[in-house]
A and B are shown apart, each in its own frame.
Chain A
Amino acid sequence: MFDTGVNILTYLSQGAWTTISIFLAATFFSFVMAFIAGLSRLAKNPFIRGFTTLYVEIFRGTSLIVQLFWLYYAVPMLFNIDLGSNWWVGVVAIALNYGAYMSEVVRSSILSIDKGQTEASVALNLSRFQRMRHIILPQALRLMLPEFGNYSIQILKGTALVSLIGLTDILYYGDIYRSSNLSEGPLAYLMVLVMYFIIALPLIWLSKKGEKISKRGVAS
């Protein structure tokens, strides 16, 4: 029992790098998207605001797996756009999806900063950019940390779906293993879960840490 468990784990670890690399890239790009979209939703220009709202609502309102299929099957056919590889399809879909979710975190944290801060920086004759860069963002970033930690775990869970567009990640190897050793199915899937959990452990720790940082010095 224990031996088979270890065997399965080593078998699954073939897919670990795909999962981790997609996770890292998708996290990076969704942070980028989150800040772009989050800041654009606070822009003065109504077109930028409207366009970003549309993006956020569409990607938040439809499910990740459909976006993956859409990007994988439909977009290349309809618009003749080829992203190069499955890996990029997975990364782009996950990044767009969670970027939309996280942009709400960015937006709401910026909005939650006290109005007095903005007024004070106007009084000090700071430009819009300086105000954001030096006054608002440093305070807002702290508030975003715990949510970002949670979303990084969500992204990790989202990466499990890329096995459905033919990427060889942990779940893919788990499925293969199960289909060739039917009686070991429970153990195989349990090990897949354990594997994801092991990858998630540092993230859990990070989001706990983020929670602490965001609470520091705040009267509750």
Chain B
Amino acid sequence: MSATYWSWETFFNAFPIILEGLKITLGLTIASYLLAMVAGFVWLILESTPVKPFNFIVYWIKEFIRSTPPIVQIFFLYFAWPMVPYVGTSFTPFVAAMLALGIHFSTYISEVYRSGIESVDKGQWEASTALNFSTRDKWTKIVLPQALPADDTDARELSDYTVQGSTACSNHRGCRHTEHRTELWRADMVLY
């Protein structure tokens, strides 16, 4: 078999189709990233409650979500969620993917938040206690302003993951019918 299947014609024909998919991919990336950033804080709050058994459960739920494949989670939300007794509502593909990816990556992002907060020196806490700051002020005025910049490098890595995950999904749903698989690869090159 000497013939190669590469043709520039197909390549340029496929472009508009891929641009359609690109919209979904970008939208999904942004949406799930925002969701993950918010949900990351929710994990932090859940984990910092003083009730031990509750913490234990939250820890393992988080570990569970983190170590199972996001694609199965998307399938679960999209295909299986409407079948759960007493639920009966279904998600559109976009919403299902956004929820699944957002929650999946929020478990990572909460780690990033946590390490950022832990990297703030203990002395800062002590000093703010000595200065009689309220708990709320301690967080909003002292700790978080120092913790958030520390997130930066890790967050970049995370956005990497999120983009990966979401392309996985939108390609599956949206661009699946592109004429030639080779162009899928091209679509991604455009993306980055």
Contacts and interface: CB of A to CB of B under 8 A. Distances in A.
Interface of A: 60-67, 69-70, 72-74, 77-80, 153, 156-161, 164, 171, 174-175, 178, 182-186, 188-190, 192-193, 196-197, 200, 203-204
24 contacts: A61-B189, A62-B185, A62-B188, A62-B189, A63-B167, A63-B171, A69-B181, A78-B4, A78-B5, A78-B182, A80-B4, A157-B69, A158-B69, A160-B71, A160-B72, A161-B168, A182-B83, A185-B79, A185-B83, A186-B83, A192-B72, A193-B68, A193-B76, A197-B67
B69 A160 contact: yes
Tier of interface size on chain B? 35 or more
B75 interface: yes
Nearest to A161: B71
A153 B67 contact: yes
B69 A66 contact: no
A156 to B, nearest CB: 7
B192 interface: yes
A20 B55 CA distance: 31
Contacts, number: 118
Contacts of B5: 77-78
A3 to B, nearest CB: 17
Given A74-B181, A174-B72, A200-B67, A66 B188 contact: yes
Given A62-B189, A65-B171, A78-B182, A189 B68 contact: no
Interface in B26-71: 63-64, 66-71
A63 B67 contact: no
Contacts of B71: 160-161, 171
A1 B188 CA distance: 43
B131 interface: no
Contacts of B79: 178, 185, 189
B81 A204 contact: no
Contacts of A63: 163-165, 167-168, 171, 188
B20 interface: no
Given A66-B187, A185-B83, A189-B75, 6 more contacts: A66-B167, A70-B181, A70-B185, A174-B72, A184-B83, A204-B63
Contacts of B163: 63
B121 to A, nearest CB: 12
B152 interface: no
A204 B168 contact: no
Given A65-B168, A65-B171, A77-B4, A157 B185 contact: no
A193 B168 contact: no
A184 B71 CA distance: 19
Interface string B157-184: 0001001110110011000000011101
B182 A190 contact: no
A189 B76 contact: yes
A74 B68 contact: no
A200 B192 CA distance: 31
A189 B79 CA distance: 9
Contacts of A188: 80
B130 interface: no
Contacts of B81: 186
A186 B84 contact: yes
Contacts of A164: 172
Contact of B72 (A74, A78, A196, A200): A196
A159 B68 CA distance: 11
Nearest to B182: A74
